[in-house]
Amino acid sequence: MPFFFGINNSMTTSGLSRQPTQLDYASPTQFKFNVVKIPKVEYFVTSINIPGITLGSGLQTTRFKDIPVAGDKLTYDSLSLSFLVDENLENYREIHGWLVGLGFPSKHQEFNDLLSVGQDRFPISQLASNSAQDSGKTPKNPVQNQGPTLSDATLIVLSSKNNPVVEVRFKDLFPLSLTGLAYNQQETDVNYLTATVTFDYLNYEFATPNSSTTTVTTS
Protein backbone atom coordinates (compact mmCIF):
# COMPACT_ATOMS: atom_id res chain seq x y z
CA MET A 1 0.00 0.00 0.00
CA PRO A 2 1.60 3.31 -1.03
CA PHE A 3 2.46 5.80 1.69
CA PHE A 4 1.85 9.48 1.16
CA PHE A 5 3.71 12.02 3.22
CA GLY A 6 1.88 15.32 3.52
CA ILE A 7 3.20 18.67 4.74
CA ASN A 8 1.00 21.00 6.71
CA ASN A 9 1.81 24.47 5.34
CA SER A 10 0.67 26.21 8.49
CA MET A 11 2.99 24.07 10.62
CA THR A 12 5.90 24.72 8.23
CA THR A 13 5.40 28.47 8.33
CA SER A 14 5.12 28.42 12.09
CA GLY A 15 8.29 26.36 12.41
CA LEU A 16 10.29 28.68 10.16
CA SER A 17 9.11 31.75 12.00
CA ARG A 18 10.43 30.27 15.24
CA GLN A 19 13.98 30.02 13.90
CA PRO A 20 16.39 32.60 15.40
CA THR A 21 17.50 35.39 13.09
CA GLN A 22 20.86 35.75 14.88
CA LEU A 23 23.06 32.65 15.14
CA ASP A 24 26.26 34.30 16.37
CA TYR A 25 27.09 34.00 20.05
CA ALA A 26 27.70 36.94 22.37
CA SER A 27 31.37 37.42 23.23
CA PRO A 28 32.40 38.65 26.70
CA THR A 29 35.16 40.80 25.16
CA GLN A 30 32.93 42.76 22.76
CA PHE A 31 31.80 45.81 24.69
CA LYS A 32 32.39 49.46 25.52
CA PHE A 33 31.32 51.24 28.67
CA ASN A 34 31.15 54.88 29.61
CA VAL A 35 29.98 56.81 32.64
CA VAL A 36 29.21 60.47 32.02
CA LYS A 37 30.75 61.63 35.29
CA ILE A 38 34.05 59.69 35.11
CA PRO A 39 35.34 59.87 31.51
CA LYS A 40 38.92 58.96 32.49
CA VAL A 41 37.82 55.45 33.45
CA GLU A 42 36.24 54.58 30.09
CA TYR A 43 39.43 53.60 28.20
CA PHE A 44 40.71 51.35 31.03
CA VAL A 45 37.62 49.21 31.70
CA THR A 46 38.45 45.49 31.72
CA SER A 47 35.16 43.94 32.86
CA ILE A 48 31.56 44.92 33.43
CA ASN A 49 28.33 43.05 34.12
CA ILE A 50 24.70 43.41 33.15
CA PRO A 51 23.17 43.10 36.63
CA GLY A 52 20.55 40.50 37.36
CA ILE A 53 17.02 41.42 38.35
CA THR A 54 14.58 39.72 40.70
CA LEU A 55 10.82 40.15 40.73
CA GLY A 56 9.98 38.05 43.76
CA SER A 57 6.62 36.51 44.45
CA GLY A 58 3.85 36.28 46.98
CA LEU A 59 1.37 33.65 48.09
CA GLN A 60 -2.39 33.75 47.84
CA THR A 61 -3.74 31.62 50.64
CA THR A 62 -6.54 29.16 49.98
CA ARG A 63 -8.17 26.34 51.91
CA PHE A 64 -5.92 23.98 50.00
CA LYS A 65 -2.51 24.69 48.47
CA ASP A 66 -1.35 28.31 48.56
CA ILE A 67 -1.10 29.81 45.05
CA PRO A 68 2.11 31.64 44.09
CA VAL A 69 1.55 35.03 42.45
CA ALA A 70 3.99 37.34 40.70
CA GLY A 71 5.45 40.17 42.76
CA ASP A 72 5.07 43.83 41.85
CA LYS A 73 8.50 45.26 42.67
CA LEU A 74 11.79 44.64 40.85
CA THR A 75 15.10 44.38 42.69
CA TYR A 76 18.26 45.18 40.68
CA ASP A 77 21.64 43.66 41.52
CA SER A 78 24.62 46.01 41.86
CA LEU A 79 26.71 47.02 38.86
CA SER A 80 30.35 45.98 39.17
CA LEU A 81 33.12 47.51 37.05
CA SER A 82 36.83 46.60 37.01
CA PHE A 83 39.48 48.80 35.40
CA LEU A 84 43.23 49.17 35.00
CA VAL A 85 44.64 52.03 37.06
CA ASP A 86 46.76 54.56 35.20
CA GLU A 87 50.17 55.39 36.71
CA ASN A 88 49.06 58.87 37.82
CA LEU A 89 45.98 57.35 39.51
CA GLU A 90 43.80 59.84 37.65
CA ASN A 91 40.97 57.40 36.91
CA TYR A 92 41.17 55.95 40.44
CA ARG A 93 41.06 59.42 42.03
CA GLU A 94 38.11 60.35 39.83
CA ILE A 95 35.95 57.65 41.45
CA HIS A 96 37.54 58.20 44.87
CA GLY A 97 36.63 61.88 44.72
CA TRP A 98 33.04 61.01 43.79
CA LEU A 99 32.74 58.78 46.87
CA VAL A 100 34.37 61.36 49.14
CA GLY A 101 32.02 64.03 47.83
CA LEU A 102 28.98 61.89 48.60
CA GLY A 103 30.19 61.04 52.09
CA PHE A 104 32.07 64.36 52.84
CA PRO A 105 33.99 62.75 55.74
CA SER A 106 35.93 65.91 56.68
CA LYS A 107 33.83 68.95 55.75
CA HIS A 108 30.72 69.98 53.84
CA GLN A 109 32.87 71.73 51.24
CA GLU A 110 33.75 68.30 49.83
CA PHE A 111 30.11 67.86 48.85
CA ASN A 112 30.03 71.34 47.32
CA ASP A 113 33.14 70.48 45.31
CA LEU A 114 31.36 67.41 43.95
CA LEU A 115 28.41 69.56 42.89
CA SER A 116 30.62 72.06 41.08
CA VAL A 117 32.56 69.34 39.25
CA GLY A 118 29.33 67.69 38.12
CA GLN A 119 27.66 70.76 36.67
CA ASP A 120 28.92 69.99 33.15
CA ARG A 121 28.03 66.28 33.42
CA PHE A 122 24.37 66.29 34.35
CA PRO A 123 22.67 62.92 33.77
CA ILE A 124 20.10 62.90 30.98
CA SER A 125 17.33 62.03 33.42
CA GLN A 126 18.20 65.06 35.55
CA LEU A 127 17.69 67.36 32.58
CA ALA A 128 14.20 65.97 32.20
CA SER A 129 13.59 66.54 35.90
CA ASN A 130 14.69 70.16 35.61
CA SER A 131 12.35 70.70 32.67
CA ALA A 132 9.48 69.38 34.75
CA GLN A 133 10.32 71.74 37.59
CA ASP A 134 10.60 74.71 35.24
CA SER A 135 7.11 74.00 33.94
CA GLY A 136 5.70 73.86 37.47
CA LYS A 137 5.28 70.08 37.49
CA THR A 138 6.49 67.78 40.25
CA PRO A 139 9.15 65.34 38.98
CA LYS A 140 8.12 61.70 39.16
CA ASN A 141 11.39 60.77 40.86
CA PRO A 142 12.48 63.15 43.63
CA VAL A 143 15.84 61.37 43.88
CA GLN A 144 16.80 63.10 40.63
CA ASN A 145 17.01 66.37 42.55
CA GLN A 146 20.46 65.20 43.65
CA GLY A 147 21.58 66.45 40.25
CA PRO A 148 25.32 66.16 39.60
CA THR A 149 25.87 63.72 42.46
CA LEU A 150 24.41 61.09 40.09
CA SER A 151 25.37 60.07 36.58
CA ASP A 152 24.04 58.10 33.65
CA ALA A 153 26.06 55.30 32.06
CA THR A 154 25.89 53.19 28.91
CA LEU A 155 27.13 49.68 28.19
CA ILE A 156 27.50 49.22 24.42
CA VAL A 157 27.42 45.60 23.26
CA LEU A 158 29.40 45.01 20.06
CA SER A 159 28.99 42.41 17.34
CA SER A 160 31.77 40.11 16.16
CA LYS A 161 32.62 42.86 13.64
CA ASN A 162 32.85 45.51 16.37
CA ASN A 163 29.59 47.18 15.39
CA PRO A 164 27.28 48.38 18.19
CA VAL A 165 24.18 46.20 18.37
CA VAL A 166 22.61 46.91 21.78
CA GLU A 167 22.92 49.62 24.40
CA VAL A 168 22.21 49.05 28.09
CA ARG A 169 21.43 52.43 29.64
CA PHE A 170 21.79 52.92 33.40
CA LYS A 171 19.98 55.83 35.05
CA ASP A 172 20.98 57.84 38.12
CA LEU A 173 24.07 55.84 38.98
CA PHE A 174 26.36 56.44 41.98
CA PRO A 175 29.30 54.52 43.53
CA LEU A 176 28.92 52.36 46.62
CA SER A 177 32.46 51.07 47.10
CA LEU A 178 35.95 51.16 45.60
CA THR A 179 38.61 48.54 46.26
CA GLY A 180 42.07 49.50 47.50
CA LEU A 181 45.39 49.28 45.67
CA ALA A 182 48.16 46.92 46.80
CA TYR A 183 51.78 47.85 45.98
CA ASN A 184 54.41 45.13 46.44
CA GLN A 185 58.19 45.36 45.89
CA GLN A 186 58.44 41.55 45.81
CA GLU A 187 56.43 41.17 42.61
CA THR A 188 58.60 39.47 39.97
CA ASP A 189 56.14 39.71 37.08
CA VAL A 190 54.54 42.85 35.76
CA ASN A 191 50.99 42.78 37.09
CA TYR A 192 49.37 46.11 36.57
CA LEU A 193 47.13 47.44 39.30
CA THR A 194 43.39 47.02 38.88
CA ALA A 195 40.48 48.28 40.94
CA THR A 196 36.80 47.42 41.16
CA VAL A 197 34.01 49.88 41.80
CA THR A 198 30.45 48.87 42.69
CA PHE A 199 27.53 51.08 41.69
CA ASP A 200 23.89 51.36 42.59
CA TYR A 201 21.38 52.99 40.23
CA LEU A 202 17.70 53.67 39.60
CA ASN A 203 17.21 51.13 36.78
CA TYR A 204 18.55 50.09 33.39
CA GLU A 205 16.89 49.63 30.01
CA PHE A 206 17.85 48.17 26.64
CA ALA A 207 17.96 50.37 23.55
CA THR A 208 18.94 50.33 19.89
CA PRO A 209 22.27 52.18 19.44
CA ASN A 210 21.84 55.94 18.92
CA SER A 211 18.10 55.65 19.56
CA SER A 212 16.23 58.03 21.85
CA THR A 213 13.80 55.31 22.96
CA THR A 214 14.38 52.30 25.19
CA THR A 215 12.76 48.88 25.39
CA VAL A 216 12.22 46.60 28.33
CA THR A 217 12.06 43.43 26.24
CA THR A 218 13.27 42.45 22.77
CA SER A 219 10.88 42.84 19.87
**pLDDT > 70? residue 40:** yes
CB 142 within 8 A of CB 172: no
Q: For residues 28 and 33, give the distance between their C-alpha atoms in angstroms, rounded to a whole number.
A: 13
Got the DSSP string for 187-207?
--S----EEEEEEE-SEEEEE
* CATH architecture of the region 25-51+73-100+151-207: Roll (2.30)
Helix (H) / strand (E) element for 134: namely helix 124-134
**Helix and strand counts by DSSP (H, E) for the chain:** 4, 11
CA triplet 77, 80, 84: central angle to 5 degrees? 175
pTM: 0.73
Reported in sequence order, the residue ranges of the chain that DSSP labels E, i.e. its strands, are: 31-35, 45-48, 53-54, 57-60, 67-70, 75-76, 79-84, 151-158, 164-178, 194-200, 203-207
Give the pLDDT confidence of 48-106 residue by residue, as tens digits. 999 999 988 888 888 888 888 888 888 999 999 999 999 999 999 999 989 988 887 67
Query: What are residue 25's phi and psi, to 5 degrees?
Result: -90, 150
How far is Cα of residue 59 from the mean position of the Cα atoms in its chain? 31
Mean of pLDDT over the chain: 79
Query: What are residue 176's phi and psi, to 5 degrees?
Result: -105, -40
